[in-house]
Structure 1
Amino acid sequence: MRTQEMALLTHDTLLLPEGRIEIRVVDPAYLSMIAEVLKLHYQLVFGMSRANNDLPCYEMATQCEIIDFNLLDDDSLGIVLQGKQRVRILSAAKRRDGVWISRTLACNNWQQEPINGEFELISAALEQFYQVNPDLFGLYDNDMHLEDASWVSQRWLEVLPLYNKDKLRLLNQPNCHKTMHFVLELIKSHASAKSY
């Protein structure tokens, strides 16, 4: 397998393939790194921040692309990223300007599969979640795949308030099945708690 050098952005949140996130870039070094990515000098990888480790993020990360950007009210840059490919961060080095460059290896994305039976509940709940969170909903411009179990599972992992290590345990599975069961049980237990 071929490794690839990528510019690394770290953040508290999780981004997975086909997911979208908007982040604010203020640091001049990262603004010039974004320019390098747009000029195709580097691919971009997005990882969940991690303290007290050799790497600035967890090993599992997502190669992404910049699909939109705009100047925010405070003159910082807002960029919208879309996840493309899961990767493993093998190593990372900090440049003089403070930007991290990582050595990555592509990993398998979860395969698309139809969502059916009782799992349609997690799809309906996600659609409802996006309707009450218009900022997230707006990122997708009606480009949602609520019929795809893999897409729905990954969007839940991005938004659920779980410890990163728990998210990673689910992400390291070969497919979305464990995540689907986990989210379904969460929704059912929440619904039964509300019915008392």
Structure 2
Amino acid sequence: MNTIALLPHSKHILPEGRLKLVISRVCDIRMVTESMTDKRPFALGMIAPNHEPETISHIPAIATTVSIIDFNTQDSGLLEIIVEGIDTISVSTLTMAYDNLLTATYEPCVQWAPISINHDSQPLADKLKLLFESTPEISNIYQQTSYNNATWVCQRWLEVIPIDIKYKQSLIHHPTANMTIRFLLQLLQTIT
């Protein structure tokens, strides 16, 4: 079994996604420092927006390993980092250290292969592009986008769409993005 430091967070990330995080807890600063010093990833685990990491007793099974691609210190003294998703993993057990840092044992998950955008899935890419263009805090952290890859598009939607974590986890658990493509197309039809 592999082990990795795990940060529970209400912001979600999947492979090739990018996310800006503000790090404030002592244990998380230790995790970031060790990650940068040893050039090793840590994992981001999905929690609901109304939960605090200190009260977490259960993390959903699928998390994402991430690497730090940029960092700086805010005027307030807090650490701000930008992470990029690497792979999804299946978490089996959690251990909490003396300072509340979580460590997870895990197995790798099957990663979604790229799927080309076609006529049917094009609306997903078009609407995501509009979302990114209207949300500079998201678009500014992406130097590259892959609007022609339905897998990449679906993963970005799953990161930002406000649906229950159990539904996100269920979709991510599938071996390909096909189920997520169908789900998102249906969801966007009901919204528009």
Unmatched tracts of structure 1, length 5 or more:
192-196
Shift, 1:42, TM fit: 5.1
Deviation by residue 1:23-50 (Cα, 9 ceiling, x = unmatched)? 1001122112211111227530110126
Task: Give the one of 44, 47, 60 matched to 2:42.
Answer: 44
* 1:69 aligned onto 2:71: yes
Whether the 8 Å contact between 2:23 and 2:78 is mirrored in structure 1 is yes
Q: For residue 17 of structure 2, what is the aligned residue in structure 1? A: 19
Deviation by residue 1:77-131 (Cα, 9 ceiling, x = unmatched)? 0111110011011111111111111111111110011011121111000000001
Could you tell me how far apart the structure 1 residues matched to 2:39 and 2:188 are? Answer: 44
Give secondary structure in 2 for the equivalent of 1:139.
coil
Q: For residue 87 of structure 1, what is the aligned residue in structure 2? A: 89
Could you tell me how far apart the structure 2 residues matched to 1:163 and 1:173 are? Answer: 17
Unmatched tracts of structure 2, length 5 or more:
none
Calculate the TM-score normalised by the size of structure 2: 0.92
The code of the aligned residue for 1:79 comes to I
Whether the 8 Å contact between 1:5 and 1:43 is mirrored in structure 2 is no
The code of the aligned residue for 1:6 comes to I
Range moving further from structure 2, 98-107 or 44-53: 44-53
Q: For residue 187 of structure 2, what is the aligned residue in structure 1? A: 186
Could you tell me how far apart the structure 2 residues matched to 1:176 and 1:41 are? Answer: 30
Identity value in percent: 27
Whether the 8 Å contact between 1:47 and 1:62 is mirrored in structure 2 is yes
* 1:119 aligned onto 2:121: yes
Distance 1:103 1:65, change over 3 A: same
- Superposed CA RMSD: 1.6
Higher CA-based Rg? 1
Could you tell me how far apart the structure 1 residues matched to 2:174 and 2:63 are? Answer: 14
Shift, 1:53, TM fit: 7.1
Whether the 8 Å contact between 1:4 and 1:104 is mirrored in structure 2 is yes
Deviation by residue 1:148-167 (Cα, 9 ceiling, x = unmatched)? 01000010011101011111
Could you tell me how far apart the structure 2 residues matched to 1:188 and 1:113 are? Answer: 21
Q: For residue 154 of structure 2, what is the aligned residue in structure 1? A: 153
Could you tell me how far apart the structure 2 residues matched to 1:59 and 1:188 are? Answer: 30
* 1:133 aligned onto 2:135: yes
Q: How many pairs were matched up?
A: 187
Shift, 1:178, TM fit: 1.3
Could you tell me how far apart the structure 1 residues matched to 2:69 and 2:178 are? Answer: 29
The code of the aligned residue for 1:32 comes to R
Distance 1:78 1:53, change over 3 A: closer
Deviation by residue 1:56-89 (Cα, 9 ceiling, x = unmatched)? x211001110011111232100111110011011
